[in-house]
Amino acid sequence: MKYNFIDKGKGRPIIMLHGIFGHASNWKDIIEPLSKGYRTLALELPYLELKKDDCNIAYLSEYVSKFADSHGFNKAIYMGNSLGGHIALDIATRDHERVEALILTGSSGLFERGYENDLQIHPTKTYLYKKIGEIFFDKSHVTEELIDDVYNILLNRKNKINIIRLSKSAKSYNIKDQLKFVDCPTILIWGKQDPITPPSAALEFEQSIKKAELKFIDNCCHAPMIEHPGKFGKLALEFLSTRL
């Protein structure tokens, strides 16, 4: 199996998992500080290439676990945003000996405003500006380049169908009852103004995961590692240095 990923640094491995509309490059501003003490591997997840029967959390968890196996990692730290966080949690509940720690941000699994009900058949760039704008508190992150990237993705019917299937899979797989099996140190780094996975979801994760701690970042929505990489990196490094 071929994997596309960014690999930098040496030390304990941190496997980074992005969300549905994301890319491995979403972690680029976090990789630099973390790679000074850890091996950072930002994996490009094949959301748009999946076959119909593979558009689910279980398949993606297996895909990520095989990626870890291909590098000989018995244990790794998993960092996930949005659906990537859901995948990391699924691995931690099913195969907890693989997971040394979790760093979750805007993770689905309890509540997420998905795309399955309001994704336009022929989305306009005006519509996309509004939808993508929900990801960021600071709208300067909603660039023409980003809008064009998502627009081109959605021009392809298969891509659109995969996104809807994955959104439905995330919503149907509520992980609440499995969170008691998460036994590793966990930090939740959350945007205080996140409208997609709201602060109430973060609080429920904190209450349900026995070794969890929650940190909010103000003036921040669904992608703290992009909007506030300095604060995000500092919180992640403090967590890793004190909890492992």
Residue 243 CB burial class (10 angstroms; 0-12, 13-18, ≥19)? middle
Per residue in 90-102, pLDDT (tens digit) is 999 999 999 999 9
Rounded to a whole number of angstroms, the CA Rg of the chain reads: 17
Please state, rounded to an integer, the average pLDDT across all residues of the chain: 95
pTM across the whole model: 0.96
Per residue in 40-90, pLDDT (tens digit) is 999 999 999 999 999 999 999 999 999 999 999 999 999 999 999 999 999
pLDDT of residue 111: 84
What would the two tokens of residue 135 be?
A: 């990801």
What would the two tokens of residue 204 be?
A: 């429920």
Give, in order, the Cα–Cα distances in Å from 143 to each of 76, 132, 139, 151, 186.
34, 10, 8, 12, 32
Domains, the chain, ranges and CATH?
5-243 (3.40.50.1820)
Q: Tell me the H-state helices in the chain.
A: 28-34, 57-70, 83-94, 125-133, 144-155, 157-172, 199-208, 224-227, 229-243
Per residue in 106-157, pLDDT (tens digit) is 999 998 765 555 666 678 899 899 999 999 999 999 999 999 999 999 999 9
* Separation CA 122–CA 106 (nearest Å): 27
